[in-house]
């Protein structure tokens, strides 16, 4: 008798108002933006060169804009400064063009333009977690990496250095008005960014697929997205301008964002927030380092404690999708995943300053993380310590 999880026919699915996907779609951004506003506050990463086409299209459509560059992951202070500058400019539209950090910054600025209480009133964990009362300014999210899926998620991850943690603003009002995904914007990503973002997307497809609150739409997205990454991540890592590989990764990343926005995650993401808040580890690197070990410990725990769990069948399906082999076992899937991470050259957690002395705090914080609640089986404290030991 297979143990059944929560009824998958009771579910919701939410996403951005519109999603526009395809190579070359950046050429339509001026006309799309003009439908939403005339004064755009544009959040960019460190380089403005990559945004040249975006800015040209805004100019061509007579949209005035002010640029705000974000270096690294957003913090409370960065968001607050951005809100102030956007108000001074008098914007009626917010555009984020960059990786997940840039897009999260844009979400936060957009929503805080209309929900005017202090940011700590809305932040989870370290704040009040108050729901947003009204929609933010129209927001267009344009990813230039393929991994976070932030363009279709309903949260924004914000760093709080004083608290040594990353926390979220969360709510359906954070969903962008338009998500424009153009795989051509990812052609010039360096190999290490391709690797970390690709592993982020892979984790965001596997964890919702095996989580304890399944969703049939999410399942379909994961079944399409996981094989795309398995066949294309190595290729894009080695040859960044391969159009088929880049399309695969961009689409899989989009699907991963849809998945995490509408299902639960698991222990990998339960660890990722505390680790990222305490150490300078890119989120995708954390995911890649932890995913094989969390998967293995989840599988062994299920085999020992819940042998009839349907999740074991899910993990078998994941193994088949990763390896491309119809009869692949869960152990073969684990081997494939570990070999992928080795091929991509991921450094251990110790490379970022993590030591065994930090395990106590990391385990304590991770056990309380909201993502941990979606793990398919409750892990013991010993299990959590073991994950960190293996990833060190």
pLDDT tens figures, 129-184: 999 999 999 999 999 999 999 999 999 999 888 887 788 999 999 999 999 999 99
Last residue of a domain, one of 181, 206, 231: 181
* Domain match, 108 and 248 both: no
What CATH number is given to the structural domain containing 100?
Answer: 3.40.50.1970
Q: Long-range contacts for 111-116 (Cβ within 8 Å, ≥24 apart)?
A: 111/135, 111/136, 111/156, 111/169, 111/171, 111/173, 111/174, 112/79, 112/83, 112/136, 113/83, 113/86, 113/87, 113/137
The kind and range of the H/E element at 97 are: strand 93-98
Distance CA 253, CA 256 (A): 5
* Domain match, 102 and 169 both: yes
Answer yes or no: is pLDDT of 8 > 60: no
* Domain match, 71 and 121 both: yes
191-210 helix and 243-262 helix, angle to the nearest 10 degrees: 40
Specify if 201 maps to a domain: yes
Q: What percent of the chain has pLDDT over 90?
A: 86
Specify if 217 maps to a domain: yes
* Domain match, 231 and 278 both: yes
Specify if 352 maps to a domain: yes
pLDDT score recorded for residue 48? 82
Distance CA 145, CA 208 (A): 21
Any idea what DSSP says for residue 346?
A: P
What CATH number is given to the structural domain containing 229?
Answer: 1.20.1090.10
pLDDT score recorded for residue 4? 43
Tell me the residue length of the chain.
392
* Domain match, 125 and 267 both: no
* Domain match, 203 and 176 both: no
pLDDT score recorded for residue 310? 93
Specify if 12 maps to a domain: no
Please tell me the total count of domains within the chain: 2
* Domain match, 232 and 367 both: yes
Specify if 17 maps to a domain: no
pLDDT score recorded for residue 5? 56
For 138, the token pair is 């129209």
Last residue of a domain, one of 132, 156, 181: 181
Any idea what DSSP says for residue 2?
A: P
Given a contact cutoff of 8 angstroms between Cβ atoms, the answer to whether 270 and 375 are in contact is: yes
pTM (whole model) above 0.75: yes
Mean pLDDT of 314-337: 96
Answer yes or no: is pLDDT of 1 > 70: no
* Domain match, 168 and 233 both: no
* Domain match, 306 and 222 both: yes
Among 173-182, 326-335, 363-372, the least confident range = 363-372
Specify if 72 maps to a domain: yes
Specify if 20 maps to a domain: no
* Domain match, 239 and 340 both: yes
Last residue of a domain, one of 150, 181, 212: 181
* Domain match, 119 and 251 both: no
Half-sphere exposure in the Cβ direction for 183 (13 Å, CA): 19
pLDDT score recorded for residue 72? 82
Answer yes or no: is pLDDT of 12 > 90: no
Mean pLDDT of 181-206: 97
Average pLDDT of the chain to the nearest whole number: 94
pLDDT score recorded for residue 2? 40
Burial of 146 (0-12, 13-18, 19+ CB in 10 A): buried
CA distances from 119 to 105, 112, 220 (A): 13, 8, 36
Specify if 9 maps to a domain: no
* Domain match, 137 and 206 both: no
Q: What percent of the chain has pLDDT over 70?
A: 98
CA-CA-CA-CA torsion for 240, 245, 250, 255, nearest 10 degrees?
-150
Q: How confident is the model at residue 10 (pLDDT cuts 50, 70, 90)?
A: confident
Please give the residue range of the domain that contains residue 89: 25-181
């Amino acid at each position: 008798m297979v143990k059944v999880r929560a009824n998958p026919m009771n579910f919701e699915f939410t996403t951005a108002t519109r999603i526009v996907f395809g190579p070359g779609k950046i050429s339509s951004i001026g006309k799309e933006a003009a439908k939403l506003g005339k004064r755009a506050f544009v959040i960019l990463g460190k380089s403005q060169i990559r945004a040249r086409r975006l800015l040209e299209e805004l100019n061509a459509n007579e949209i005035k804009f002010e640029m705000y560059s974000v270096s690294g992951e957003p913090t409370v202070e960065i968001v607050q400064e951005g809100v102030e500058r956007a108000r001074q400019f008098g914007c009626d539209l917010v555009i984020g063009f960059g990786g997940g950090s840039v897009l999260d910054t844009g979400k936060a600025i957009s929503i805080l333009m209309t929900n005017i209480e202090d940011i700590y009133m809305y932040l989870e964990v370290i704040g009040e977690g108050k729901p947003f009362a009204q929609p933010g300014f129209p927001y267009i999210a344009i990813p230039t990496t393929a991994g976070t899926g932030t363009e279709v998620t309903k949260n924004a991850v914000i760093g709080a250095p004083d608290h040594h943690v990353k926390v979220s603003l969360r709510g359906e009002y954070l969903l962008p008005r338009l998500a424009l995904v153009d795989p051509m914007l990812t052609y010039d990503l360096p190999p290490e960014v391709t690797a970390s973002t690709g592993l982020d997307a892979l984790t965001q497809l596997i964890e919702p697929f095996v989580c304890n609150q399944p969703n049939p739409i999410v399942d379909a997205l994961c079944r399409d997205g996981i094989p795309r990454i398995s066949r294309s991540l190595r290729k894009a890592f080695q040859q960044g301008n391969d159009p088929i590989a880049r399309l695969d990764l961009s689409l899989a990343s989009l699907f991963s964002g849809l998945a995490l926005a509408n299902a639960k995650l698991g222990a990998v993401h339960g660890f990722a927030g505390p680790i990222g808040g305490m150490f300078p580890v890119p989120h995708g690197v954390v995911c890649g380092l932890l995913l094989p070990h969390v998967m293995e410990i989840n599988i062994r725990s299920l085999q020992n404690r819940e042998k009839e769990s349907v999740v074991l069948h899910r993990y078998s399906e994941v193994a088949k999708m990763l390896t491309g082999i119809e009869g692949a076992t869960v152990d073969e899937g684990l081997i494939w995943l570990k070999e992928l991470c080795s091929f991509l050259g991921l450094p251990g957690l110790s490379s970022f300053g993590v030591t065994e002395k930090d395990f106590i705090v990391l385990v304590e914080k991770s056990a309380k993380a909201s993502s941990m609640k979606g793990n398919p089986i409750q892990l013991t404290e010993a299990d959590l310590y073991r994950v960190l030991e293996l990833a060190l």
